[in-house]
């Protein structure tokens, strides 16, 4: 029956991990090396109007060092990670008039999409601040998700993607316990969803790159974990939610272009694009 169908991630996995880092700073290069080494996937949220001029040399001791366009292109060139929006000029969206708000969103998307030759469909609120007007404008501009900075400390799939609460910041005192839960908790029904965010320059500012290494080593290269960018998870979860059923819940149909995995009465199965399956009573 329908109430016995629960999402599983690609390959039948029952837990997913994603990261989100903001501002497009030079320290992203070191973080990317760590993530790539451990098989982690992340979304990097950039301000399309705030790249540093080419040839910028920062004064000694400067921690928040924005990349130039060429540095950003080289840093994210592997294509394994997502480019997200973060406001064209990193303004407080809830304080802007309608025209400025739309330009902050659409202008950032357009600049990033042009530079990286990609589609930018999600990102993070500048300063983590937002209101309902910003949410509505974001949806009108083609945004499908946007991250806040309000930690949920939850390992459940979020309901509201346009005001998406991450699980926690990478420096949250609760991180060790959440990592342990994520890796050890037995899943019977709902799958786990772990979302960690931050700024890579914070590792330099706090002189704790060892935290990034430990976090990546503990969470990375695990056979039971699905590693994905924010948008990959959004699209996959919505493909599961798009599955169709008959009134009785004994017939399932996949109208999407994505193979979807699910658990039905404890058995892990998949349904291919366009396929129709009969679920046993």
HEC readout, the chain? CHHHEEEEEHHHECEEEEEEEECCECCHHHHHHHHHHHCCCEEEEECCCCCECCCCCCCCCCCCCECEHHHHHHHCCCCCCEEEECCCCCCCHHHCCHHHHHHHHHHHHHHHHHHHCCCCCEEECHHHCCCHHHHHHHHHCCCCEEECCCCCCCCCCCCCCCCECCCEECCCCCHHHHHHHHHHCCCCCCCEEEEEEECCHHHHHCCCHHHHHHHHHHHCCCCCEEECCHHHHHHHHHHHHCCEECCCCCEEECCCCCCEEEEECCEEEEECCCCEEECCC
Distance in angstroms (rounded) separating the CA atoms of residues 14 and 187 = 7
pLDDT by residue for the chain (281 residues), tens only, comes to 556 899 999 999 999 999 999 999 999 999 999 999 999 999 999 999 999 999 999 999 999 999 999 999 999 998 899 999 999 999 999 999 999 999 999 999 999 999 999 999 999 999 999 999 999 999 999 999 999 999 999 999 999 999 999 999 999 999 999 999 999 999 999 999 999 999 999 999 999 999 999 999 999 999 999 999 999 999 999 999 999 999 999 999 999 999 999 999 989 999 999 999 999 87
pLDDT for position 2: 58
pLDDT for position 79: 87
Q: Is 169 exposed, middle or buried (0-12, 13-18, 19+ CB in 10 A)?
A: middle
pLDDT for position 105: 96
pTM of the full structure:
0.96
Q: Could you tell me which of 231, 276, 234 has the C-alpha nearest to residue 255? A: 276
Query: Domain 14-238 is classified in which CATH homologous superfamily?
Result: Glycoside hydrolase/deacetylase (3.20.20.370)
């Amino acid at each position: 029956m329908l109430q016995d169908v629960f999402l599983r991630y690609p390959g039948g996995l029952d837990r997913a991990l994603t990261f989100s880092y903001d501002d497009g700073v030079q320290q992203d290069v070191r973080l990317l090396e760590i993530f790539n080494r451990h098989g982690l996937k992340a979304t990097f949220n950039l301000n399309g109007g705030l790249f540093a001029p080419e040839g910028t040399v920062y004064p000694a001791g400067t921690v928040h060092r924005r990349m130039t366009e060429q540095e950003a292109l080289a840093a994210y060139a592997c294509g394994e990670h997502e480019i997200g929006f973060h406001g064209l000029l990193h303004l407080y969206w809830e304080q802007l008039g309608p025209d400025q708000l739309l330009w902050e969103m659409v202008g950032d998307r357009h600049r990033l999409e042009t530079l990286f030759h990609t589609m930018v469909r999600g990102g993070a609120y500048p300063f983590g601040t937002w209101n309902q007007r910003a949410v509505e404008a974001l949806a009108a501009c083609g945004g499908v998700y946007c991250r806040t900075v309000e930690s949920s400390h939850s390992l459940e799939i979020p309901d509201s993607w346009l005001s998406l609460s991450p699980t926690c910041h990478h420096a949250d005192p609760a991180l060790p316990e959440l990592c342990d839960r994520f890796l050890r908790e037995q899943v019977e029904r709902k799958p786990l969803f772990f979302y960690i965010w931050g700024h890579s320059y914070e590792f330099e500012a706090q002189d704790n790159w060892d935290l990034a290494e430990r976090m990546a080593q503990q969470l990375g290269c695990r056979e039971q974990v699905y590693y994905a960018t924010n948008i990959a998870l959004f699209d996959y979860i919505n493909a599961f939610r798009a599955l169709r059923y008959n009134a009785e819940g004994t017939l399932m149909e996949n109208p999407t272009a994505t193979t979807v995995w699910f658990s039905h009465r404890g058995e892990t199965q998949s349904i291919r694009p366009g396929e129709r399956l009969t679920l046993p009573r």
